Amino acid sequence: MVGGGQLARMSSQAAIGLGLSLRVLSDRPEDSAALVAARTTTGPVDDLAALRAFAAECDVVTFDHELVPPAHLVALEAEGHVLRPGPRTQRFAQDKAHQRAVLGALGIPVPLNRLVGSVDELAMFGDELGWPVVLKAVTGGYDGRGVWVFDDPRNAAHLFASGREFLVETFLPLDRELAVLVARRPDGESVVYPVVESVQVDGMCREVIYPAPISSEVAEHARGLALNVAAAVDAVGVIACELFLVGEHVLLNEIAVRPHNSGHFTIEGCVTSQFENHIRAVLDWPLGVTTPTAPAAVMVNVVGGSTGADPVANLSAALAVPGAHIHLYGKEARPGRKLGHVTALGDDVTETRARARRAAEILTGEQLPL
């Protein structure tokens, strides 16, 4: 797995259960996965020579992020290395304009959008379709980074001065944000996970709630949409579809072609976790069932608080919360940084959510946003 973050860390833990040793290419020896993976290579993940040397030691190469330059992916595949997902699939996650254009043309519902290169073009879009608008960097954005909301195009002048590419979209009156994960083998065999609600704060996922508070008809539609997206991009491994719910209409927001924050609850909350199914899928092994293990599951991210306190100091107290499953990532505590997550299972969503939030608040020493 290229990348040494928490996704690689949790993938490594899943690999151990399968009797495998996951090799990790990590930028730094102090990265989350590098601290636990049995076989770690330290090297820059944007360097082709480092990637070549790493891939030569692997049967299959997969990824915990979308930061490898596209040209490097193409070169590795051309040299015969097995990349899952491959460059064509990765482009959908790396390039928002490509994602919107191709999937929209295939009938996948997406917000109205347009490529813009100047304040004037942004103003034309807003004047035509209404303000405010959402401006997104075509590449490189995540966790709220690279996304801005403007009601006056002049406020975006400094962004266009950077020379970056941008996509502008209509600002939608969202009822909820949803997420659906699909695990898919090279031949197209797929399993789909339950629909969850993703609670966002400042563009970052803070909580994931199962079951999502939606009708069975909307849930079935969302699962079908995710399966269609997975097939359209020829995904191999886990693909996460982040969705907007507007009334009864489901639209695609973003995709990630790797394990995803919205699927962390599956470690305890489903028979087969997203991490195990990702490994099974990229190895072209039979996929595990995705049946929930409890009527309700809630995952709460442990995000560094304003004081920069290390949650490890409060771990013992947090473990006293009944049924709190705590995962810490071994990362240096900084304000706004994802340091871990808590999952709770139960029979009632409200009570289960309260327990998960309580454990997370103990870890950070700060109250969570409502």
CB 136 within 8 A of CB 167: yes
Mean pLDDT of all residues belonging to the chain: 96
What CATH fold (topology level) applies to the domain 112-170? Dna Ligase; domain 1 (3.30.1490)
pLDDT tens digits along 217-251: 999 999 999 999 999 999 999 999 999 999 999 99
Q: Cα–Cα–Cα angle for 106, 214, 102, nearest 5°?
A: 15
Confidence (pLDDT) at 308 = 85
Look up the CATH number of domain 6-83.
3.40.50.20
Beta-carbon-side half-sphere exposure of residue 158 (alpha carbons within 13 Å): 3
Helix (H, G, I), strand (E, B) or coil at 275: helix
Query: Is 176-364 a CATH 3.40.50.10210 domain?
Result: no
pLDDT tens digits along 317-351: 999 999 999 999 999 999 999 999 999 999 999 99
- Cα(176)–Cα(209) distance, rounded to whole angstroms? 11
Write the DSSP assignment of 1-22 as a string of letters: -B--SHHHHHHHHHHHHTT---
Write the DSSP assignment of 140-168 as a string of letters: S--TTTTEEEESSGGGGHHHHTTT--EEE
Confidence (pLDDT) at 163 = 82
Nearest partner of 66 among 98, 39, 34, 111, judged by Cα: 98
Confidence (pLDDT) at 256 = 97
In this structure, the chain runs to a length of: 370
Which residues of the chain are modeled with pLDDT < 70?
Answer: 142-144
Taking CB atoms within 8 Å and a gap of at least 24, the contacts of 138-143 are 138/95, 138/96, 138/97, 138/164, 138/165, 138/166, 138/167, 139/94, 139/95, 139/96, 139/165, 141/96, 143/203, 143/204, 143/205, 143/338
Q: Cα–Cα–Cα angle for 86, 91, 94, nearest 5°?
A: 125
Cβ neighbourhood burial of 228 (10 Å; 0-12, 13-18, 19+) = middle
Report the predicted TM-score, pTM, of the whole model to 2 decimal places: 0.96
Domain definitions of the chain by residue range: 6-83, 112-170, 176-364
